Structure 1
Amino acid sequence: MQVTSVGHAGFHIQTEAGSILCDPWVNPAYFGSWFPFPDNTQLDWDTLGACDYLYVSHLHKDHFDPENLAAHVDKNATVLLPDYPVPDLERELRALGFTKFFATQDSVKHRISGGEMTVAPATPPAPGELDVMIIALRAPADGPIGDSGLVVSDGESTVFNMNDARPVDMDVLKEFGHIDVHLLQYSGAIWYPMVYDIPKKTKANFGKQKRQRGMDRCRSYIDQVGATWVVPSAGPPVFLDEQLRYLNDDHGDEGNIFPDQIVFLEQMRIHGNDGGLLMIPGSVVDVRGSESMTLTHPVPDTEVERIFTDKAAYIEDMAQRMAPVLAAEKASWAPAEGEPLIDGIRAKFEPIMRQSDLICDGIGYPVGLVMGDETVVLDFPNRIVREPKEGEGKYRYGFRIAPELVRTVLRDDEPDWVNTIFLSTRFEAWRIGGYNEFLYTFFKCLTDERIAYADGWFSEAHDDSASIELGGYEIQRRCPHLKADLGKFGVVEGTNLTCNLHGWQWDLDSGRCKTSKGHELRTRKL
């Protein structure tokens, strides 16, 4: 089996039974803020796109690149489709011209043989056959209503492409036996804490914590999977816009949440794991089970090393080459001036508010949107969009967003502001109190289907009947946030519990969630 990096979370997996192209991203994402790092524009995308199977893990634009898919990927490729609660991903791919789909079942091993897919028998795949499993994550916090990971086995070698998914139950991997190659995210993909209106020193401390927790979570997954070789991937992006260059980890900032591959490989070595592999776009791993591995790069090793040792210069050179691409992206935005934004926001948001009682009540207060000279209030308790009231003062949660960005997502009828405006980091935010999960879920779910699913998901009771002992406390086994097994992801420091899956924290003496309101933990000191 040959695994070729095509940049970021993208890989091309070549087997005797056919080739699988995974998450081929090349064009800038999130209002031109994110570019793949290192540069992958030099790859032969027509050859890579002449694949037998296509796997797009989810609809984040650093995984789902419609321009690249439309221009370079063979429409006769069969799509390996995750088992998602809403059909948005399939709709988007059909709109691009793909017509062949294998609809997988969540966490079920399937056998691909002779162009057909069935539930896999217990026997290993024969030559010319493949076993695949897609682990589909379906909570509202998982991507834009869905994220996933892919397992591929040709009978000799097994690869687990976790990209930036965060599976809760890793026991399903036991059906494949030993994993040979593990591909996973280790770096940040968020706007926190950089965009928040908080003191500089506080922001740096939060960033340092976020940076380390992300790498700790990655190492937790690596320990659970136990693969022979590990490839840090799915990040970081590179920020080429002059206004956003400070976000790159190229100036010794310990609070930067975007560490690169070299940083994480060193983390692995510090903790006793020498199985990490550095891949850049065009690097190829030729693997034969766990017995043999050959890694080759598209350029001499000295050039690979220079990308990271002289990173600022590499980014500057890339910024110069990509300047026309970034300029074209900005030219596609809607103009900043126009009709009052309140009308478009009201038409978009109020119907969603009226069908999402649980989420609106979970938000629980008005939220301010400051867009240039115009301020609009999202009054969630009353399910309306309105103008500010006289003397209303500062809102508990608020956003300052350039009006051209808001006009663009309204023009494009964008169903997800989180994975457009917010991941761009082209905004500022403030909040009084903890993180509000319901608010960001609302911004992800601006369609009838999405909001109905999210509201229903939150209404289901989380099972907290099972208990574990951890750090001198008896606590519920499943995290109150997204049901992660705290026996695997929980870390106790004094009276503080952190779930490394998403970094949420609880006070063990009271059970109070420190990260967001609600989500209390059942706990008892032993």
Structure 2
Amino acid sequence: MQVTSVGHAGFHIQTRAGSVLCDPWVNPAYFASWFPFPDNTGLDWDTLGDCDYLYVSHLHKDHFDPQLLREKVNKNATVLLPDYPVPDLKRELEALGFTKFVETTDSVKHRIRGTEIVGASDAPPADDELDIMIIALRAPADGPIGDSGLVVSDGDTTVFNMNDARPIDLDVLAREFGRIDVHMLQYSGAIWYPWVYDMPERAKNAFGTQKRQRQMDRARSYIDQVDALHVIPSAGPPVFLDDALRYLNDDCGNPANIFPDQTVFLDQMVRHGDHRGILMIPGSTADFAGGGAEGTDGYTLTHPAPESEVLKIFTEKAEYIEDMAQRMAPVIAAEKASWAPAAGGSLLEPLRELFEPIMKQTDQISDGIGYPVALEIGTPGDVAETVVLDFPARTVREPLEGETKFRYGFTIAGELVRTVLRDHEPDWVNTIFLSTRFRTWRVGGYNEFLYTFFKCLTDERIAYADGWFAEAHDDSASIELCGWEVQRRCPHLKADLSKFGVVEDGKLTCNLHGWEWDLASGRCLTSKGHELRSAKLPD
């Protein structure tokens, strides 16, 4: 099996039964804020796009690139489709011209031949067959209503492309496939916190340092659980080329930066005694031989440039980013020219028309938010209009007389708000928020319900999310952690705390998403609600 990096979370997997193109992304995402790093525009996308199978893990715009899929990817390719409750991904791909789909079942191994599922077998697949499994994550917090990871096996080599998914149960891999040869996964940041928050710089650096380490700790935890022979750090980081966002790049040795690159994580793996990591850049190809015979590395690695040039991308990163920014300046300018004009009439009525029907359809989410939220249209110091999303009343309104302080609020440029309204965008997280082109503040903890609301701006999405939150989480099983008895499943997204839970100074942290609880009281320190069942064990 031959694995070629095509940038970010993207891979081209060549098997004896055909090629699988995973998450190809080349065009800027999130209002031209994110670009693939290193640069992948020079790849032969016509050849890469002439694939037999296409896998798009989810609809985040650094995984789903509609322009590239429309222009470069073979429409006769069979799409390996995750088992999502809301069919938005399939609809988007159908709109781009794809017609052949293998609709998988979550965490079930399928043997496929072309567009057919031919059943399961313990015997190795034939030369024209593949064994695949897609682990589908379906909580509202997982991507835009869904994220997923793909396992592909041709009988000789098995790869697990986890990209930036966060599976809870990985025991299924060993049960269904035995050994995993190659594990690709995210290790770097893909979020706006803490840099867009209105807080002192010292606090941002403290939170950033903590988040940077936790995301790499989480990745190493996954690596230990999967226990593959080889590990390819992927799915990040992006590079920020717009002058206003260049400070987000990890190119000056800031330990608080949440976007470390592959070499940083590979170095951390080595410092923890793990030498399984492989550095790949766009165009790097690794040939695997079923994991390799005893005493061999089991693969050959070919880079698109001499190794010294590859390493310079990382050792002279600021210069590389500057050169890339110069080349991509016309692309950014063209993207900005496509945005809606900043000026215009009041946005109160358009926002009321969008938000109020969604607010009135949900009890779990509106009540979970539980307070009015301010939406300032403009930039800090130059706010043209304030619109209040009054979730308890399920209304969108102007501020009341004397109403100047809000527990949560956002300041967003008018052109961005007008653009998502113009484009009938169902997910502000997948557009505005991941762009980092906004500012926010909050009093108290993170409100998961609020960001879920912003990614569920259709009847179908909000109905699913409201129902998901209405389901009771199973907390009946218990485990022992460092002298405490706690429920086994995380109150947030049901992660197994025996694998992801860390106890320190009377606090429990779930490293799946970094949420924290006070063990003495069970109170969630990250967000409202989500209490933990915990009790101190006798000495």
Superposition TM-score tier, normalisation by shorter sequence: over 0.9
Q: State the match for 2:470 in structure 1.
A: 459
> For residue 368 of structure 1, what is the amino acid of its counterpart?
A
Q: State the match for 1:313 in structure 2.
A: 319
Separation in structure 2 between the aligned mates of residue 211 and residue 157 of structure 1, nearest angstrom = 32
1:127 CA displacement: 2.4
Aligned to 2:449, what secondary structure does the other structure show?
helix
- Aligned residues of 2:100 and 2:115 also touching (Cα < 8 A): no
Match of 1:362 among 364, 368, 373: 368
Q: State the match for 1:217 in structure 2.
A: 218
1:252 CA displacement: 1.4
Q: CA offsets per residue over residues 402-426 of structure 1, 9 Å max, x none?
A: 0100000000000000110000000
- Aligned residues of 2:139 and 2:146 also touching (Cα < 8 A): yes
1:114–1:257 distance in 2 versus 1, CA, 3 Å: closer
Aligned length: 526
1:112 CA displacement: 1.2
> For residue 10 of structure 2, what is the amino acid of its counterpart?
G
Separation in structure 2 between the aligned mates of residue 306 and residue 171 of structure 1, nearest angstrom = 39
Q: CA RMSD in A?
A: 0.7
Separation in structure 1 between the aligned mates of residue 452 and residue 69 of structure 2, nearest angstrom = 28
Q: Does 120-129 or 273-282 show the bigger shift?
A: 120-129
> For residue 51 of structure 2, what is the amino acid of its counterpart?
C
Percent of aligned pairs with the same amino acid:
77
1:122 CA displacement: 2.3
1:115 CA displacement: 4.5
Q: State the match for 2:75 in structure 1.
A: 75
* 1:404 corresponds to 2:410: no
1:494 CA displacement: 2.2
Q: State the match for 2:511 in structure 1.
A: 500
Q: State the match for 1:450 in structure 2.
A: 461
Aligned pairs for 1:162-181 within 5 A:
162-174=162-174, 175-181=176-182
Q: CA offsets per residue over residues 219-260 of structure 1, 9 Å max, x none?
A: 000000000110000000000000000000001111100000
Separation in structure 2 between the aligned mates of residue 294 and residue 440 of structure 1, nearest angstrom = 44
* Structure 2 residue ranges without an equivalent (≥5): 293-297, 379-383
1:181 CA displacement: 0.5
Separation in structure 1 between the aligned mates of residue 374 and residue 121 of structure 2, nearest angstrom = 55
Separation in structure 2 between the aligned mates of residue 299 and residue 229 of structure 1, nearest angstrom = 22
Aligned to 2:232, what secondary structure does the other structure show?
strand
Q: CA offsets per residue over residues 425-455 of structure 1, 9 Å max, x none?
A: 0000000000000000000000000000000
Aligned to 2:301, what secondary structure does the other structure show?
strand
- Aligned residues of 1:156 and 1:289 also touching (Cα < 8 A): yes
Q: State the match for 1:182 in structure 2.
A: 183
* 1:31 corresponds to 2:37: no
Aligned pairs for 1:479-494 within 5 A:
479-494=490-505
Q: State the match for 1:393 in structure 2.
A: 404
> For residue 347 of structure 1, what is the amino acid of its counterpart?
E
* 1:227 corresponds to 2:225: no
Q: State the match for 1:135 in structure 2.
A: 135
- Aligned residues of 1:367 and 1:378 also touching (Cα < 8 A): yes
Q: State the match for 1:518 in structure 2.
A: 529
Aligned to 2:429, what secondary structure does the other structure show?
coil
Q: CA offsets per residue over residues 33-71 of structure 1, 9 Å max, x none?
A: 000000000000010000000000000000000000000
Q: State the match for 1:112 in structure 2.
A: 112
Q: State the match for 1:237 in structure 2.
A: 238
Separation in structure 2 between the aligned mates of residue 43 and residue 229 of structure 1, nearest angstrom = 24
* 1:433 corresponds to 2:444: yes
> For residue 326 of structure 1, what is the amino acid of its counterpart?
I
- Aligned residues of 1:113 and 1:129 also touching (Cα < 8 A): yes
TM-score normalized by structure 1?
Answer: 0.99
1:308 CA displacement: 0.2
TM-score normalized by structure 2?
Answer: 0.97
Aligned to 1:255, what secondary structure does the other structure show?
coil
1:393 CA displacement: 1.9
Aligned to 1:405, what secondary structure does the other structure show?
helix
Separation in structure 2 between the aligned mates of residue 320 and residue 400 of structure 1, nearest angstrom = 29
1:187 CA displacement: 0.1
- Aligned residues of 2:101 and 2:115 also touching (Cα < 8 A): no
Aligned pairs for 1:236-255 within 5 A:
236-255=237-256
Separation in structure 2 between the aligned mates of residue 115 and residue 135 of structure 1, nearest angstrom = 19
Runs of 4+ that moved beyond 2 A: none
Separation in structure 1 between the aligned mates of residue 404 and residue 323 of structure 2, nearest angstrom = 46
- Aligned residues of 2:517 and 2:525 also touching (Cα < 8 A): yes
- Aligned residues of 1:38 and 1:281 also touching (Cα < 8 A): yes
1:235–1:223 distance in 2 versus 1, CA, 3 Å: same
Separation in structure 1 between the aligned mates of residue 81 and residue 116 of structure 2, nearest angstrom = 14
Separation in structure 2 between the aligned mates of residue 115 and residue 421 of structure 1, nearest angstrom = 37
> For residue 260 of structure 2, what is the amino acid of its counterpart?
P
Q: Does 112-121 or 90-99 show the bigger shift?
A: 112-121
- Aligned residues of 1:197 and 1:430 also touching (Cα < 8 A): yes
- Aligned residues of 2:102 and 2:115 also touching (Cα < 8 A): no
> For residue 187 of structure 1, what is the amino acid of its counterpart?
S
Q: CA offsets per residue over residues 433-488 of structure 1, 9 Å max, x none?
A: 00000000000000000000000000000000000000100000000000000000
Q: CA offsets per residue over residues 301-349 of structure 1, 9 Å max, x none?
A: 0110000000000000000000110100000000001121111111100
> For residue 304 of structure 2, what is the amino acid of its counterpart?
P
Q: State the match for 1:331 in structure 2.
A: 337
Match of 2:483 among 458, 463, 472: 472
Aligned pairs for 1:44-123 within 5 A:
44-113=44-113, 115-123=115-123
> For residue 370 of structure 2, what is the amino acid of its counterpart?
G
* 1:346 corresponds to 2:352: yes
Q: State the match for 2:381 in structure 1.
A: none
Q: CA offsets per residue over residues 191-221 of structure 1, 9 Å max, x none?
A: 0000000011011000000000000000000
1:119 CA displacement: 3.4
Aligned to 1:421, what secondary structure does the other structure show?
helix
Aligned to 1:25, what secondary structure does the other structure show?
coil
Match of 2:301 among 295, 305, 318: 295
- Aligned residues of 1:108 and 1:119 also touching (Cα < 8 A): no
Separation in structure 2 between the aligned mates of residue 147 and residue 490 of structure 1, nearest angstrom = 22
> For residue 338 of structure 2, what is the amino acid of its counterpart?
S
1:114–1:26 distance in 2 versus 1, CA, 3 Å: closer
1:129 CA displacement: 1.5
Separation in structure 2 between the aligned mates of residue 457 and residue 118 of structure 1, nearest angstrom = 33
Aligned to 1:111, what secondary structure does the other structure show?
strand
Separation in structure 2 between the aligned mates of residue 166 and residue 38 of structure 1, nearest angstrom = 24
Q: State the match for 2:295 in structure 1.
A: none
1:114 CA displacement: 5.5
